[in-house]
Structure 1
Amino acid sequence: MNQPGRILRIAAKGEGQTADGRYVTLAAPGDVLEADGTLTHGPDHAAAACRHFPACGGCQLQHLSDRALADHVRGRVEGAARGQGLDPGEVAPPHLSPPASRRRAKLHAQVIGKRVLLGFREQGSHKIVDIKECPVLAPELAALIPPFRRLLETRADRSLSADIALTLADQGPTVDLSGITMQGLAQTEAMLDFAQAHAVARLTLDQGDGPETVWEPDPVTVTLSGVPVGLPPGAFLQATSDGEAALISAAREWLAGAPTIADLFSGLGTFAFALAGPGTKVLAVEAARDAHLACQAAARINGRPVHALHRDLFRGPLQIEELNRFAAVLLDPPRAGARDQVALLAGSAVPRIVYISCNPASWAKDAATLVEGGYRLAGLVPVGQFRWSTHVELASLFVKG
């Protein structure tokens, strides 16, 4: 019998939940909430890897051991399925991305008095935690934080409030800035000197009319399954290369032998290029024009059997007669899911569907629709790309009949 104060699990927002239903911040499974309110740590309570935890909102779960973190990732996926009345079946071991592997992140900068604060926001707050280290980021991105802070400190603008999106491309880190203006030759030269000195692959500046490239010595690409694809500013990219590989591995295994595949919400072609090859043609459907054109150009240049289609699947989902032309469908929608497209898939005759999701809750609702339409949940792989975060992703397989 469980002690009333024993922490049994981690809830969706990162708090520990006791056997009697209480929620405790910074508690790990196996910890015990004592009668006096103190917390006795158990074997899965770990020392934080970063000096900024728990103030920094980038991580919520650095106090968990890897075992507890893996259990949480798997539990989020299983719990979402059961919440919709679905049997998750045999769930694969979770994949956890290692520290220092995040290849994209969005930081914030603000001037407070004479100080420049640069980092992530506190959870549930607009307050910025001025980070000196980040064990999550890839080293190439983390290395830009101190020199970029120094660059901002040279500016006279005391009302600065900016966003800095960092992405690791084939040629090195890209930096997309918004909320910063370059006034005069000195500021422009300082920004370009920063980019050159720190091997920035591309620097863009959004001064209110969209991102404008101010530095890009060579065309920026990201290699997807051996295919260099142009990387437009702001284009979606899986958070870690190893997490991407885990999702691709599941999709390849489940869709092996399918002669025709529709890749819906295809983005740059992360899954399309992984699945296309001898004996397999892929239709890559994407609404974002820049990503669609990048995928189309890469397929043409590299001779891959990927046909890119520009189409908004929220306004114009593929109809049942279109879906039935394919031996398999893969979809990787935004966090809200793909209710209308999934409803049409549920009524189709597509033999196999692979659903990639970054939100177990919306995935579970869509999964229930597929099951109601005659599909069976036949495979489930939890993926924790956002290490020490409550953010969980997954790959799933649905089979007709």
Structure 2
Amino acid sequence: MKRRSRSSSPPRTVAERALRVTARAVGARGDSVCADPKSGTAVFVPGLLPGETADIVARAERGRIRERLTTSAERVEPFCSVAQKCGGCSLQHWQSDAYRAWKRDLVVEALEREGLVAEVRPLIDAGGEGRRRVALHARRMGTRLLLGFTERAGQTIADTDDCPVAEARIRKSFPALRELAMAVLSSKFDTAIIAVTATGPGLDVHVARKGPVTLDDRLTGGELLAREGWARLTIGSELIAEGTPPVVRFGTAKVAPPPGGFLQATDAGEAALAAIVMDALKMALKAAPKEARGVIDLYAGSGAFALRMASLAPVRAVEGEAAPLAALDHAARHTPGLKPVSVLQRDLALEPLSIRELTGAAMAVVDPPRAGAKEQMELLAGSGIPVIVSISCNPSTFARDAAILLRTGYAMGPVTPIDQFVHTAHVECAAVFTKG
């Protein structure tokens, strides 16, 4: 029987209101925290610094600056021409020392919200030579092309020909990437995401867009790869052209990453995290009995940690996605001098490793997505593994998961905050947990 349709009413619109506000602080997402002078409710305004006053237009809890009336002594001129539009860097306008103190405090405050007291080390600047991977959005609008990153809290593309925080080879590639985008986006309003990764031999370029690969795509793509010296070009699941195959080094292993695959944002960031992991492994192996010298790497990706650890101990690498796990496995099999590396494909959010599967390891490394690894951490806590290295790109879920270990008798070492997404609100953190 057909149901009677409900009467539809127009969607409610939230009225805009003009306010004069003073920023109290910068919040965890990089927006200034202000208060509506009439209601006292919080209003979040991007682009303001603590102590600055501005006239804003607010809708619900979000505001945008109409006119800034005062200027903080901590304000500096952004070095990127689209910094005020682009959603990639939200804090280029903040003086370095104040920004670094705030970013470290993100980790301190996340721990405090869980009732945890820990030593938090000074923030490590891991910007290094720049970000080695970027994901550019492209939109074809007739004869015009927009190429860049999406604007903050929106889908509009901040058109640009440069990204000053990217690695030099990526920055130089913008004209060629624009040429590629024009070629593969043939009709009005076509869109694509172009993922670019700087690898040893050259750039690995991956285009995600709708529609089949055409002959023109192959011809233009092949010409660009040859001219620009790119390592590889893929569109969707198809290899368009390849020069010297792309590889990245994880310790002594050379890994061919899958197209568009995950890597730590900077070489310096990966090196800082790997140093923590390897120091913990050396400690764990000294204390471990002979029958417990294996290591488990959870959310192993393409093996940034697993392949390094395999220089000292047998490793079991667990990862949910097939492509990076295959890259890890291939590298392990073709790198001389490594201890045995076994691989297991499993979605740990749906099916975490059981206590039985964890028991007997000398150490575990867990580096989950932003949502954390609550269920897996509960099982790790029950396994009694003597050393656990927890790494996270989200201080809140890091602290939540740390509390699980601490409740079951683990001790937390110093927490190290690592800044590889410089000028943003994103911070990596890592700590070593031990059980006597």
Does TM, normalized by the shorter one, top 0.5? yes
Residues 1:349 and 1:186: Cα distance change in structure 2 (over 3 Å): closer
C-alpha distance in 1, partners of 2:389/2:381? Answer: 13
Does 2:193 match 1:172?
Answer: no
Cα distance in 2 between the residues matched to 1:112 and 1:371: 55
**TM superposition shift of 1:116:** 0.4
Unaligned runs of 5+ in 1: none
Question: How much has 1:375 moved relative to structure 2?
Answer: 1.7
Aligned counterpart, 1:307: 341
Give the 3 Å change call, closer, same or farther, for CA 344–226 of structure 1 in structure 2: same
Partner of 1:325: helix, strand, or coil? Answer: coil
- Is 2:63 the partner of 1:28? no
User: Is residue 256 of structure 2 the alignment partner of residue 236 of structure 1?
Assistant: no
Describe how 1:375-386 pairs up with structure 2 within 5 A: 375-386=410-421
The corresponding residue for 1:109 is: 138
Q: Structure 1 residues 160, 328: CA separation in 2 closer, same or farther (over 3 Å shift)?
A: same
Superposition deviation, residue 376 in structure 1: 2.2
Looking at structure 2, the residues matched to 65 and 147 of structure 1 have their Cα atoms a distance apart, in angstroms, of 34
Matches within 5 A, 1:328-367: 328-367=363-402
What does residue 225 of structure 1 align with? Answer: 251
Give the count of matched residue pairs: 390
Does the CA-based 8 Å contact 2:381-2:404 persist in structure 1?
Answer: yes
Partner AA of 2:105 in structure 1: G
Q: Which residue number in structure 2 is paired with residue 50 of structure 1?
A: 80
Compared with structure 1, are the counterparts of its residues 7 and 182 closer, same or farther at alpha carbon in structure 2 (3 Å cutoff)?
same
Aligned to 1:189: 219
Equivalent residue, structure 2, for 1:12:
28
Give the distance between the partners of 1:355 and 1:151, measured in 2 at CA.
Answer: 40
CA distance in structure 1 between the aligned counterparts of 2:43 and 2:214, rounded to whole angstroms:
57
1:272 to 300, 306, 312: 306
Larger Rg: 2
Letter in 1 for 2:177: F
Contact 1:202–1:215 (Cα < 8 Å) also in 2: yes
* Deviations 1:327-382, CA, capped at 9 Å, x for gaps: 21111111111121111011121111110101112222211211222222222011
Amino acid at match of 2:240: V
Bigger mean CA deviation after superposition, 46-55 or 176-185: 176-185
Q: Deviations over 1:3-49 (max 9, x none)?
A: xx8756421121233699764432334x4437998453333222101
Structure 1 match to 2:158: 129
Normalization by structure 2: what TM-score? 0.83
Distance 2:22 2:94 in 1: 15
The 1:148–1:22 alpha-carbon spacing in structure 2 relative to 1, beyond 3 Å, is closer
Partner amino acid, structure 2, of 1:286: E
Letter in 1 for 2:327: A
Q: By how many angstroms is 1:181 displaced?
A: 4.9
Report how far residue 70 of structure 1 moved. 1.4
Q: Mark the runs of 5 or more structure 2 residues left unpaired by the alignment.
A: 1-20, 57-66, 286-293
How big is the shift at 1:176?
Answer: 0.6
Within the candidate set 103, 112, 133, 1:73 is matched to 103
1:371 aligns with 2:400: no
Q: Are 1:317 and 2:352 matched, yes or no? A: yes
Q: Give the superposition deviation at 1:191.
A: 1.8
Which deviations, in whole Å up to 9, do the C-alpha atoms of 1:222-266 show, x marking residues without a partner?
111231012111321100000111111122223323233211111
Tell me which of 150, 164, 176 is aligned to 1:147: 176
> Structure 2: how far apart are the matches of 1:396 and 1:314?
21
C-alpha distance in 1 between matches for 2:30 and 2:111: 19
Against the structure 1 CA distance between its residues 306 and 85, is the aligned structure 2 distance closer, same or farther, given a 3 Å change threshold? farther
Equivalent pair of 1:182/1:188 in contact (CA under 8 Å)? no
Q: Distance in 2 between matches of 1:117 and 1:173?
A: 21
Gap change, CA 1:173 and 1:378, over 3 Å in 2 = same
* 1:179–1:33 distance in 2 versus 1, CA, 3 Å: same
Asked if the contact 1:379–1:398 (Cα under 8 Å) also holds between the matched residues in 2, the reply is: no
How well do the aligned residues superpose, as a CA RMSD in angstroms?
A: 2.4
CA distance in 1, matches of 2:310, 2:180: 44
Conserved? CA contact 1:330–1:355, under 8 Å = yes
